[in-house]
């Protein structure tokens, strides 16, 4: 089992739609969780951290479920500019090495 697993998609949605991505992780000792966004041929950039209590940033909401070892990202009112690959990242153990999922591709169309 891979350490961090994501559905690769692609998720193809119309503008204005709500879309949700899930990510599961295998290491129960994982301590920090993030969502990154990667545009084509660009480096990954932090979208948001994921806190135990859940957190929201505008149209984006992230949730963490430690018992089931998954995190989620909800995007409301999708924009064309949201089209990208969304990477789930988990920092595990004392080394805190960020481990990346393979990413979920989102395509928002007019």
Q: Which residues of the shown chain bind other proteins in the complex (CB under 8 A)?
A: 32, 34, 42-46, 49, 87, 89, 91, 94-103
CB of 106 to other proteins, least distance (A): 16
CB of 32 to other proteins, least distance (A): 5
CA-CA distance, 74 to 56, in Å (whole number)? 9
CA-CA distance, 22 to 11, in Å (whole number)? 12
Task: Give 16 or 93: the residue with its C-beta nearer to other proteins.
Answer: 93
Task: Give 40 or 67: the residue with its C-beta nearer to other proteins.
Answer: 40
Nearest CA to 80 among 52, 49, 39, 46?
A: 39
CB of 100 to other proteins, least distance (A): 4
Task: Give 48 or 75: the residue with its C-beta nearer to other proteins.
Answer: 48
Nearest CA to 70 among 11, 7, 19?
A: 7
First CA to last CA across the chain, in angstroms? 37
């Amino acid at each position: 089992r891979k350490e961090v697993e994501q559905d690769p998609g692609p998720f193809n949605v119309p503008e204005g739609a709500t879309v949700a991505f899930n990510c599961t992780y295998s290491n129960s000792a994982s301590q920090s969780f993030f969502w990154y966004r990667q545009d084509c041929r660009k480096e990954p950039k932090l979208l948001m951290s994921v806190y135990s209590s859940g957190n929201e940033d505008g149209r984006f909401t992230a949730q963490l479920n430690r018992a089931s070892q998954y995190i989620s990202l909800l995007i409301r009112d999708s924009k064309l500019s949201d089209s990208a690959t969304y990477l789930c990242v988990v920092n595990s153990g004392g080394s805190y090495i960020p481990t990346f999922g393979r990413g979920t591709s989102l395509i928002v169309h007019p």
